[in-house]
């Protein structure tokens, strides 16, 4: 009796398996992103309306952090399972250089602005690569505990290096990008000379020496969620992270955290289409991009997260937060009040020097 | 059960030992208040004085212990409210018990009379060390549970939680788990993948173990080594290899691919546990069955299987837990459509430190405990039915 049941079960499994395999490629696409509230904002602003319009089911994969390595592996294995991938601009440039991402004719594929401005003009100089469709402008900036900084809240990025006025731990991202620039800036290097100085061995030594002054007070983070957690715990007095994370900690979770926008480091995030898709899948991916990056859609995303839409024509459409009903414009990194002193991060320079500085930075960390 | 006749201790001895324990607890309380050293000094002094005074009053043990308990609760409450009252109460109870335990020499009476004082000291030090290891192992799991009822979206004990204010607690992370589509898909995927992988591991593993236990099979050791290798090769290497292999076969990113990969990981556990039970298996039983006309399949299910069942079940349990806990291989072999619970927890931890993960962890711990307890009860029951006493 037991035996027959068991064999029946095994037989059904064996029969079901090929069916499960066959239905995979039906009417669905896999979109890769960063997860968390960011993926949620994309789901609300792009995925759900697209599914409602076309009936295409969208599977969200939260693998953007290892996108470059995975796309390489997929390409090598000849089995590309992703349709559209959300990556930062520097990753898009790398993938494009290696031929792992499709080149896109922006004006042919993307929608024009409502007033007829062409897509390439609307995105302007944010199109940093032939393969890249910009989506948002975000920044890496600082948050501080309002109750732990005393009477005078920090106003300058150099307060990070001021252990006397603001004693306590601070959290910084475990990578040289941004940290080296901030260190040199606070060591008296003029903003426009930062990359010239950083290009020399002495400049690197100078930056690391500045970071050395706070090294034993630094908690190094790798995931964007860590600084908000550390601030909420009161483990750190101030820390860097992506501005959207700080916004949700402040506005949605009512944490006693203040924003320090000085010398915020702008970066771009957007879409690429991996190379090697079948013609039907590529056409569907392009159709999705056309839909998801039009003026209204990009402005809609800003209802859910405080990242600036990449189209110039979307900016006036940015409205109120979908649940909290607060105006989103003042929380955007691109808002004039927040952008009085910004640091523009040089992709080209970092693309050329990243490996070298990473090695030096890691060696310094281990010391 | 007193083994050794004892006398009451001198106040000096009790005070010294009590002071040592006071210093130990003082260290924790002191550290949490900002000064470990102050805690040690205050704790030691407090218990030394109490020990010294109460040693001469062993006849009034009960009332003194109740009084101590009450006094510590009140002091704790006055200093820092309800949580401190609980800590104070525990501390007061311990102080009363410990001092009288020392003063009346109860600690000595149960030990053999010939032990030297050094051996007595080691006897209790050993127990303290064991207790410390136990605490070290279990605390991370216990800390997770109250945090999963946090009403905030962080892994933080808020002041409201520490005050036992109902405002600080909520079930919203459990609600999130049961209503969020991502988590429900992940749960459903895990529930679909793990039992099937277990079934495959158990069938193949048991057959392999029985085959490899036959003395006439050639290259037994080599075959065994190959079958066990998924357990020894670093997981990331198996995962990368499977990724490229399965991609070419068209199994990558499919349900069946993940099930197969997990079955491969589970087979070594089944082989090892079944091989171990087969060591005690008497081959003449199968010959006897054959002699009575049973074919090999009947012999297997009627004679061999019931006897090696404990090994099969524990191997299956390991295989199930391997599949249910596994994150590395599924990240490679699966695609977003096969996202399992550990995968969802992994990305959740990386991208958003959300207490939903803690709620899931608590649920999983509860299920594991229930599973193991059921298994143990069933085992005892079957042993009782077979007339064996549970060991």
Q: Are B102 and B17 in contact (CB under 8 A)?
A: yes
The pair of three-digit structure tokens given for residue A130, joined into one six-digit string: 């032939």
pLDDT digits (tens, 9 = 90+) for B88-105: 899 889 988 988 888 888
Chain A residues with CB under 8 Å of B353 CB are: 223, 225-226, 228-229
3-state SS of chain B is CCCCCCCCCCHHHHHHHHHHHHHHHHHHHHHHCCCHHHHHHHHHHHHHHHHHHHHHHHHHHHHHHHHHHHHHHHHHHHHHHHHHHHHHHHHHHHHHHHHHHHHCCHHHHCCCCCCCHHHHHHHHHHHHHHHHHHHHHHHHHHHHHHHCCECCCCCCCCHHHHCCCHHHECCHHHHHHHHCHHHHHHHHHHHHHHHHHHHHHHHHHHHHHHHHCCCCCCCHHHHHHHHHHHHHCCHHHHHHHHHHHHHHHCCCCCHHHHHHHHHHHHHHHHHHHHHHHHCCCCHHHHHHHHHCCCCHHHHHHHHHHHHHHHHHHHHHHHHHHHHHHCCHHHHHHCCHHHCCHHHHHHHHHHHCCCCHHHHHHHHHHHHHHHHHHHHHHHHHHHHHHCCCCCC
- Supply the range of the domain harboring residue A118: 26-137+269-327
Q: Please give the pLDDT value at position B1.
A: 58
Residue with tokens 């490996």: A355
Q: Are A233 and B244 an interchain contact pair (Cβ–Cβ within 8 Å)?
A: no
Q: Does A11 touch chain B (CB under 8 A)?
A: no
Beta strands A133-145 and A257-272: pairing type? antiparallel
The mean pLDDT value for B123-146 works out to: 91
Beta bridge partners of B150: B169
How far is Cα B330 from Cα B253, in angstroms, rounded to an integer? 9
Closest to A123 measured CA to CA, from A329, A314, A275, A357: A314
Cα-based distances in Å from A107 to A104, A121, A235, B241: 9, 9, 48, 41
Q: What percent helix, strand, coil does chain A show, rounded to 5?
A: 50, 20, 30
Closest to B270 measured CA to CA, from B212, B193, B201: B201
Cβ-in-10-Å burial (0-12, 13-18, 19+) of A343 comes to buried
Decide if pLDDT at B259 tops 50. Answer: yes
Tell me: do A250 and A107 sit in the same domain: no
Q: How many other C-beta atoms can be found within 10 angstroms of the C-beta atom of residue B258?
A: 30
Q: How many distinct structural domains can be found in chain A?
A: 2
Tell me: do A195 and A254 sit in the same domain: yes
- Does the complex come out with an ipTM higher than 0.85? no
The pair of three-digit structure tokens given for residue B23, joined into one six-digit string: 């210093």
Cα-based distances in Å from B83 to B33, B36, B73, B77, B78: 14, 20, 10, 8, 11
How far is Cα B101 from Cα B90, in angstroms, rounded to an integer? 16
Nearest-CA residue of chain A relative to B196?
Answer: A13
- Give SS3 for A188: coil
Q: Please give the pLDDT value at position A219.
A: 94
Tell me how far the alpha carbon of residue A132 is from its chain's centroid.
14
Beta strands A170-173 and A218-221: pairing type? parallel
Cβ-in-10-Å burial (0-12, 13-18, 19+) of B115 comes to middle
- Looking at per-residue pLDDT, the higher value among B199 and B156 belongs to B199
What part of B 325-354 touches A (C-beta under 8 Å)? Answer: 335-337, 339, 347-354
How far is Cα A215 from Cα B195, in angstroms, rounded to an integer? 49
Decide if pLDDT at A349 tops 90. Answer: no
Decide if pLDDT at A146 tops 80. Answer: yes
Decide if pLDDT at A125 tops 90. Answer: no
The pair of three-digit structure tokens given for residue B187, joined into one six-digit string: 């749960």
Tell me: do A102 and A49 sit in the same domain: yes
Q: Are A117 and A89 in contact (CB under 8 A)?
A: no
pLDDT digits (tens, 9 = 90+) for A5-46: 545 544 444 444 444 443 344 588 999 998 877 888 899 999
Q: Are A253 and B154 an interchain contact pair (Cβ–Cβ within 8 Å)?
A: yes
pTM reported for the whole predicted model = 0.77
Closest to B50 measured CA to CA, from B101, B102, B95: B95
What part of A 17-76 touches B (C-beta under 8 Å)? Answer: 17-18, 20-21, 24, 30, 32, 34-38, 59-63, 65, 73-74, 76
Tell me: do A224 and A353 sit in the same domain: yes
Give the pLDDT band (50/70/90) at residue B225: very high
* φ and ψ at residue A101, rounded to 5 degrees: -120, 150
Tell me: do A144 and A101 sit in the same domain: no
The verdict on residue A10 lying in a domain is no
Identify the structural domains of chain B with CATH numbers, from first to last: 11-114 (no CATH), 180-354 (1.10.3720.10)
Handedness of CA A351, A355, A361, A365 (dihedral sign): positive
The mean pLDDT value for B329-333 works out to: 90
Decide if pLDDT at A225 tops 70. Answer: yes
Chain A residues with CB under 8 Å of B296 CB are: none
How far is Cα A142 from Cα A163, in angstroms, rounded to an integer? 16
The verdict on residue A73 lying in a domain is yes
User: Helices A89-97 and A347-366 sit at what angle, rounded to 10 degrees?
Assistant: 110
Q: Are B351 and A78 an interchain contact pair (Cβ–Cβ within 8 Å)?
A: no
pLDDT digits (tens, 9 = 90+) for B26-47: 888 888 777 888 889 988 998 8
Tell me: do A226 and A128 sit in the same domain: no
Choose the mutation target among B351, B357, B358 for the interface with A, i.e. most A CBs under 10 Å: B351
Decide if pLDDT at B168 tops 70. Answer: yes
Minimal Cα–Cα distance from A338 to chain B, Å?
Answer: 25
The verdict on residue A3 lying in a domain is no
Q: Are A272 and A133 in contact (CB under 8 A)?
A: yes
How far is Cα B259 from Cα A13, in angstroms, rounded to an integer? 11
Q: Are A265 and A140 in contact (CB under 8 A)?
A: yes
Q: How many other C-beta atoms can be found within 10 angstroms of the C-beta atom of residue A109?
A: 16
Which of A13, A17, A59 is closest, CB to CB, to B337? Answer: A59
Q: Are B243 and A21 an interchain contact pair (Cβ–Cβ within 8 Å)?
A: no
The distance between the two most distant Cα atoms of chain A, rounded to a whole number of Å, is: 83
Q: Does B155 touch chain A (CB under 8 A)?
A: yes
The mean pLDDT value for A158-184 works out to: 93
Of the listed ranges A173-187, A214-228, A240-254, B102-116, the one predicted with least confidence? B102-116
Residues 6 or more apart whose CB falls under 8 angstroms from that of B249 comprise: none
* φ and ψ at residue B40, rounded to 5 degrees: -60, -50
**Percentage of chain B with pLDDT > 90?**
30
Residue with tokens 């009796």: A1
Q: Please give the pLDDT value at position A26.
A: 54
The mean pLDDT value for B4-25 works out to: 84
Average pLDDT score over chain B? 87
Cβ-in-10-Å burial (0-12, 13-18, 19+) of A250 comes to buried
Q: Are A110 and A293 in contact (CB under 8 A)?
A: yes
The verdict on residue A1 lying in a domain is no
The verdict on residue A8 lying in a domain is no
The verdict on residue A2 lying in a domain is no
Tell me: do A48 and A106 sit in the same domain: yes
First to last CA, chain B: 24
Which of A20, A76, A233 is closest, CB to CB, to B256? Answer: A20
Q: Are B156 and A232 an interchain contact pair (Cβ–Cβ within 8 Å)?
A: yes
pLDDT digits (tens, 9 = 90+) for B349-383: 777 777 889 999 999 889 888 888 887 887 787 77
Tell me: do A278 and A159 sit in the same domain: no
Q: Does A134 touch chain B (CB under 8 A)?
A: no
How far is Cα B370 from Cα B144, in angstroms, rounded to an integer? 18
Q: Please give the pLDDT value at position A19.
A: 42
Tell me: do A242 and A305 sit in the same domain: no
Q: Please give the pLDDT value at position B372.
A: 82
Q: How many other C-beta atoms can be found within 10 angstroms of the C-beta atom of residue B14?
A: 28
The verdict on residue A21 lying in a domain is no
Q: For the domain that residue A72 is a member of, what is the CATH number?
A: 3.40.190.10
Tell me: do A132 and A143 sit in the same domain: no
Residue with tokens 């007595």: B120
Tell me: do A320 and A242 sit in the same domain: no
Minimal Cα–Cα distance from A94 to chain B, Å?
Answer: 22
Cα-based distances in Å from B94 to B7, B27, B82, B104: 22, 16, 18, 15
Give the pLDDT band (50/70/90) at residue B387: low
First to last CA, chain A: 67
Decide if pLDDT at B230 tops 50. Answer: yes
The verdict on residue A114 lying in a domain is yes
How far is Cα B30 from Cα B24, in angstroms, rounded to an integer? 10
Compute the CA torsion angle A318, A319, A323, A327 (nearest 10 deg).
110
How far is Cα B255 from Cα A24, in angstroms, rounded to an integer? 9
Tell me: do A160 and A224 sit in the same domain: yes
């Amino acid at each position: 009796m037991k035996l027959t049941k068991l064999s029946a079960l095994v037989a059904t499994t064996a029969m079901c398996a090929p069916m499960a395999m066959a239905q995979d490629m039906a009417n669905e696409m896999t979109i890769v992103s960063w997860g968390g509230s960011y993926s949620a904002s994309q789901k609300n602003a792009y995925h759900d309306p697209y599914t409602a319009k076309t009936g295409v089911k969208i599977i969200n994969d939260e693998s953007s952090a290892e996108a470059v390595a995975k796309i390489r592996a997929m390409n090598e294995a000849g089995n590309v399972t992703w349709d559209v991938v959300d990556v930062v601009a520097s990753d898009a440039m790398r993938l494009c250089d290696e031929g792992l991402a499709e080149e896109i004719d922006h004006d042919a594929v993307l929608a024009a602005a409502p007033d007829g401005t062409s897509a390439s003009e609307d995105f302007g100089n944010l199109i940093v690569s032939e393969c890249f469709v910009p989506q948002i402008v975000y920044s890496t900036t600082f948050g501080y505990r309002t109750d732990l900084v005393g009477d005078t809240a920090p106003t300058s990025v150099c307060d990070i290096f001021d252990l006397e006025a603001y004693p306590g731990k601070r959290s910084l991202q475990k990578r040289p990008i941004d940290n080296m620039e901030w260190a040199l800036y606070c060591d008296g290097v003029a903003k426009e000379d930062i990359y010239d100085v950083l290009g020399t061995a002495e400049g690197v030594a100078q930056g690391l020496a500045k970071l050395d002054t706070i090294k034993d007070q630094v908690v190094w983070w790798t995931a964007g969620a860590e600084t908000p957690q550390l601030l909420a715990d009161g483990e750190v007095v101030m820390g860097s992270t992506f501005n959207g994370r700080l916004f949700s900690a402040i506005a949605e979770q009512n944490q006693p955290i203040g924003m320090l926008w000085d010398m915020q480091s702008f970066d771009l995030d957007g879409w690429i289409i991996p190379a090697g898709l079948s013609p039907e899948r590529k056409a569907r991916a392009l159709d999705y991009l056309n839909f998801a990056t039009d003026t209204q859609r990009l402005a809609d995303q800003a209802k859910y997260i405080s990242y600036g839409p990449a189209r110039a024509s979307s900016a006036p459409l940015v409205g109120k937060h979908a649940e909290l009903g607060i105006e989103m414009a003042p929380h955007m990194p691109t808002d004039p009040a927040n952008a009085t002193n910004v640091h523009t991060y040089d992709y080209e320079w970092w693309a050329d020097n990243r490996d070298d500085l990473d090695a030096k930075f890691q060696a310094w960390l281990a010391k | 059960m007193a083994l050794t006749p004892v006398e009451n201790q001198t106040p000096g001895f009790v005070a010294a030992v009590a002071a040592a324990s006071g210093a130990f607890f003082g260290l924790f309380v002191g550290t949490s208040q900002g000064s470990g050293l102050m805690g040690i000094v205050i704790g030691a002094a407090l218990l030394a004085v109490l020990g010294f005074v109460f040693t001469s009053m062993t006849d009034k043990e009960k009332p003194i212990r109740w009084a101590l308990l009450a006094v510590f609760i009140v002091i704790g409450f006055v200093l820092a409210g309800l949580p401190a009252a609980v800590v104070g109460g525990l501390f007061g109870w311990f102080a009363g018990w410990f001092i009288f335990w020392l003063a009346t020499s109860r600690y000595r009476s149960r030990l053999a009379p010939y032990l030297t004082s050094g051996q007595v000291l080691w006897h209790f030090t050993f127990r303290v060390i064991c207790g410390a290891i136990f605490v070290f192992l279990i605390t991370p799991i216990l800390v997770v549970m109250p945090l999963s009822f946090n009403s905030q979206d962080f892994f933080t004990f808020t002041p409201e939680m520490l005050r036992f204010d109902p405002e600080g607690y909520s079930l919203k992370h459990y609600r999130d788990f049961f209503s969020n589509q991502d988590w429900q898909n992940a749960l459903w995927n895990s529930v679909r993948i793990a039992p099937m992988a277990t079934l495959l591991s158990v069938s193949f593993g048991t057959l392999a173990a029985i085959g490899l236990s036959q003395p006439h099979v050639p290259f037994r050791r080599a075959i065994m080594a190959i079958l066990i290798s998924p357990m020894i090769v670093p997981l990331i290497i198996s995962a990368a290899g499977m990724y490229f292999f399965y991609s070419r076969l068209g199994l990558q990113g499919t349900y069946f691919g993940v099930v197969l990969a997990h079955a491969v990981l589970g087979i070594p556990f089944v082989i090892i546990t079944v091989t171990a039970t087969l060591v005690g298996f008497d081959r003449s039983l199968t010959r006897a069955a054959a002699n009575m006309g049973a074919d090999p399949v009947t012999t297997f299910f009627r004679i061999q299987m019931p006897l090696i069942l404990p090994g099969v079940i524990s191997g299956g349990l390991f295989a199930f837990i391997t599949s249910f806990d596994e994150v590395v291989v599924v990240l490679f072999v699966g695609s977003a459509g096969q996202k399992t619970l550990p995968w969802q927890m992994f990305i959740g931890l990386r991208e958003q430190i959300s207490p939903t993960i803690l709620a899931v962890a608590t649920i999983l711990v509860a299920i594991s405990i229930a599973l193991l307890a059921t298994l143990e009860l069933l085992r005892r029951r079957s042993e009782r039915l077979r007339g064996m006493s549970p060991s």
